[in-house]
Amino acid sequence: MKKIGAGVLAATLAVSLAACGSGNGDSANNGGKGGKVTIELALSKSSQDSAFVADDLLREFEEKTNIRVNLQWLPAEQTSTVLQTKLAVDETPDLVQYNLMSAVSELNLERNFEILDNEAWVSRLENKEVLSAFGHVYSFHVSQDTGKQGVVYNKDVFEELGLSVPTTFEEFLAVCEKIKESGITPVFMPFKDNWAANVFPAAAFADYAAKNDPTLFDDLNANRKKWTDVPEFAAILEQQYEVYEKGYTNADILSDSYDMAVGKFLNKEVAMMFMGDWLIDNILEKDPSMNMGLFAIPTSEDAYLGSSPLGGQLFIPKKAKHMEEAKQFLDFMASKEIAQRIVDRQKYVPNLSDVTTPELPAYKQEIVDRYIAPQKMALTSEARTIVDSSELYRSLQDQFAGGKTAEEVLKAWDEKFNQLMKDKGAEGF
C-alpha cells in the first residue's frame, strides 16, 4: 500500500504537470479588440473571499484601465505544486496571491518574484516589514492585520477576581494562583496537538530577539548561531513548563486537543490559553457576549506581542508577461479610495498612511492601542523559521511527557534544523 501511495503521488504530480502545460495555453492572450490586455491572477480556491478579487473592484479596474483580469483558481491542496510548476515552465501568471512566508520557503521568492521597492505606494506604507523579505518589498497588501499570538484570556474572570494583566512572569504566576484558588483552571494546554506547545516559545523567543538581539533569527538561518547558543531560549521553555508543573493547567495536557478550547472558554472552565487571536474570533462566533482579550506572553517585562506573518499578499513574478499592467493593478488597489473600501469591508487595520481604520471589534482595538500603535510587536520565531518546524513541536510535547529537558528540546531541534537547512541547500549549512 505504501508503495502504491508513493506511486500515486508521483502520478498525480505528473498529471498536474500535464494539466498546467495544456490549461494555460491562452494565458498570453493579448486580445485583438481595441488593444485590451488580459492579465492573469493565480490564487488558491481556498482564497475565494480574497478582498482583491471582488467583482466590483475587478470591473472598475477594467473600466478605468482597459485591462481585464482573468482569475486562475488553483486547487487548494495543490496550490504550491501548481505554482512551482508554472514558475518553472515559464507559464507564469502576471500576479500571484500567496503568503509571503510560504513564498520564501516554497516558491523561491528571490529568484522568481519582482522587487517592488520603487513602486509609488511603498512610500505610503506604515508597516513595510509585513510585505518584505531579504530587505526588500516583494508583495502588496492594504492590510497589516497579522495574526497575533499571546495569552488569550477571559476578561470577565479577571474582573471578577480583581486581577489585572500581568507584565512580568512572577505576576503571571500570581494571577494563575488566584484563578486556581477560585476553582477555575488558569491555563488550558491542549498539547495533544503538539503545535500548540510552540505558541508560547515562538512569541517569547521573538520578544527576546526583538529586545536583545535583533539579528538573531538571521544568524540562526545563516548558521552563524545555533539554537542551543541562546540560554534564554531554554529559560523560556522552562517557564512554560513551570506553569504546568505548578498545577496551573488542565491535568491531562497530552490528551486534550485544540478543538476543545472554545468549549472550555464558553463553559468558563478555563481562564487563559497561549494561543492566537483567531481563537477569540472562534469564541465570539459561538457567543458574542464573551469578553475576551489578548496580552503578550509575559516572559520578560512589558513583553512584545507575537505576530504571525500577514497572508494573502499579491506578488508579481519576474517573468510576468504583462509586468506594467500588473503594476497598474497594484496601483489601483493601493489608491486611497479603493484601499479604503477594501479596509472598511474587511475590517482591516490598514497599512497605507492615508487610509483610516474602520471601527474594529473591541478586542482588536485594544490590541491596536496597546501593541500595534506603540510598535510592541515581534514576528514569531515560527514565522522566521524557513523549514518545517514539526520536529520542534514533537520535542516540546516530549518535554511535557517527561522525555526531554528544555536543553534537550533545543539540542534535538538544532540537529533537525541543521539537517533540514542542509537538505534545502541553504547557505552556511
Partner 1 sequence: MKLSKSLYSYYLIWPALIIYSVFFVLPAIIGLYYSFTDWRLDRDAIRFIGWDNFQRIFTDKTLLLALKNTLIFAVITVIGKNVLGIALAVALNMRLKSRNFLRAIFYSPSILSVLVISIVFTPMLRTEGTINRLFESVGLGSLSQAWLTDPSIVIWTISALAIWQHTGFQMAIYLAGLQSISKDYYEAATIDGAGSWKSFLNITLPLLLPAININLMLTLIGGLKVFSEVFVLTGGGPGNASQVVGTIILRAFGEGSWGLGTAMNTLLFAAVTLISIPLLIFMRRKEVTE
Say whether residue 11 binds partner 1 (CB under 8 A).
yes
Q: Among 204, 387, 406, 410, which residue sits at the site for partner 1 (rule: CB under 8 A)? A: 387
- Rounded Cα–Cα distance for residues 157 and 155 (Å): 5
Burial class (CB in 10 A: 0-12, 13-18, 19+), 188: buried
Q: Among 229, 259, 324, 423, which residue sits at the site for partner 1 (rule: CB under 8 A)? A: 423
Say whether residue 19 binds partner 1 (CB under 8 A).
no
The secondary structure of 282-299 as a DSSP string is: HHHHH-TT--EEEE--TT
Q: b or e along 356-395 (b: 16 or more beta carbons within 10 Å of the residue's beta carbon)?
A: ebeeeeebbebbeebbbeeebbbbbbbbbbbbebebbbbb
Q: Is 259 helix (H, G, I), strand (E, B) or coil?
A: helix
Say whether residue 66 binds partner 1 (CB under 8 A).
no
Task: Report 229-268 residues binding partner 1 (CB under 8 A).
Answer: 251-252, 254-255
Residue 111 backbone dihedrals phi, psi, to 5 degrees = -80, -35
Which residue, 369, 188, 344, is CA-closest to 266? Answer: 188
Nearer residue to partner 1 within complex by CB, 1 or 25:
1
Say whether residue 106 binds partner 1 (CB under 8 A).
yes
Contact 396, 189 (CB under 8 A): no
Contact 216, 209 (CB under 8 A): yes
Q: Quick one: which segment of 229-237, 282-290, 300-308, 416-424 binds partner 1 (CB under 8 A)?
A: 416-424
- Beta strand 305-307 with 377-379 is parallel
Nearer residue to partner 1 within complex by CB, 259 or 354:
259
Residues binding partner 1: number (CB under 8 A) = 39
Q: Provide the minimum distance between the beta carbon of 387 and partner 1 in the complex, in angstroms, as a whole number.
A: 7
Say whether residue 79 binds partner 1 (CB under 8 A).
no
Q: Provide the minimum distance between the beta carbon of 398 and partner 1 in the complex, in angstroms, as a whole number.
A: 3
Nearer residue to partner 1 within complex by CB, 248 or 400:
400
Say whether residue 77 binds partner 1 (CB under 8 A).
no
Residues that bind partner 1 (CB under 8 A): 1-11, 88, 105-106, 108, 192, 194, 251-252, 254-255, 387-388, 390-391, 394-395, 397-404, 420, 423-425
